Amino acid sequence: SLPFVQKKSGVKLAPRLAQYVQDIMPLMKTSGILTSNGGWSVKEFVETKTDFPDFVGTPVVVGEGLATSSTQTGPARKGEKAAKIHGMPASANSVAAIVCAMDAGIGNLEFCNLMEGAHLKPEYLAKSAFHQIPLFEDSDGYCVAESTAILRHIVTNYMPSLYPASSKEKAMVDWAMDLMSGSIYDVLAVKVFYPVFDFAAPPEDQKAENAACLDLLAKYEQAFLAGGKKFVAGNNISIAEYK
């Protein structure tokens, strides 16, 4: 929503998204750090990039014309047995949620064939505008996407033993999952496995990507499995292992 960013990028927020940002700021007590922080706030920092050329053309309005729908609220469905995990078994992100749902006894795979564009059909987009897998859908039609969010939803409501009660252990589990979703996945999956699965073209330097992958996995071991730990949360398996 910064005018400078719009001027340089050609990207403008739709009125609803702009209002969303404006509504958030006063509710965050220290949000001023985003606009003023000794020259290092987001606003101050980006405004030093005066050498970046201005965008030429008609700005793109982000979020304009998107349909809105209400979101279900309230507790998770009790006694769930028929939840669907829309995804593909060959997808690491999907299979994590699928196996967790099956182990919890609440549901199973609902095959979504990306190769045939099933994720782009109107009925799927009505469930998630982001058209990605996996997508969790319970018997009441409640939907939530993103593998880690699905895992947390399942274990919080149906297998709490997989999410440590200890705040520090839970934070370690969250850290491990977020690393796997971000830095590690970007290398391990995208640069190593995707080319083998024919999901993406091989990187220019496969040996370098392989070395980067090994380095990340070694750091993961050091951070989460050192000191004789069997699993991320100690001697007990958690959702980190599913991820």
**Mean pLDDT of all residues in 171-196:** 92
Residue 152 has pLDDT above 70, yes or no: yes
Residue 1 has pLDDT above 80, yes or no: no
**Mean pLDDT of all residues in 1-18:** 88
Residues 105/159, Cβ–Cβ less than 8 Å? no
Enter the DSSP assignment of 231.
Answer: B
Residue 237 has pLDDT above 90, yes or no: yes
pLDDT of residue 70: 63
**pLDDT tens, position by position, 64-91:** 766 555 667 788 888 999 999 999 999 9
Coil, strand or helix: which one is 174? helix
pLDDT of residue 66: 60
C-alpha distances in angstroms, 19 versus 1, 15, 16, 205?
10, 6, 5, 45
Average pLDDT, the chain: 92
pLDDT of residue 64: 74
- What's the per-residue H, E or C state across 93-105? HHHHHHHHHHHHC
Single pTM value for the model: 0.87
Residues 76/67, Cβ–Cβ less than 8 Å? no
Angle value at C-alpha 65, between 64 and 68, nearest 5 degrees: 105
Q: What residue type is 182 in one-letter code?
A: G
Short-list 142, 90, 139, CA closest to 115: 90
pLDDT of residue 67: 59
pLDDT of residue 210: 94
Is the bond into 195 cis (omega within 30 degrees of 0)? no
pLDDT of residue 53: 93
Model confidence at 233, pLDDT cuts 50, 70, 90, reads very high
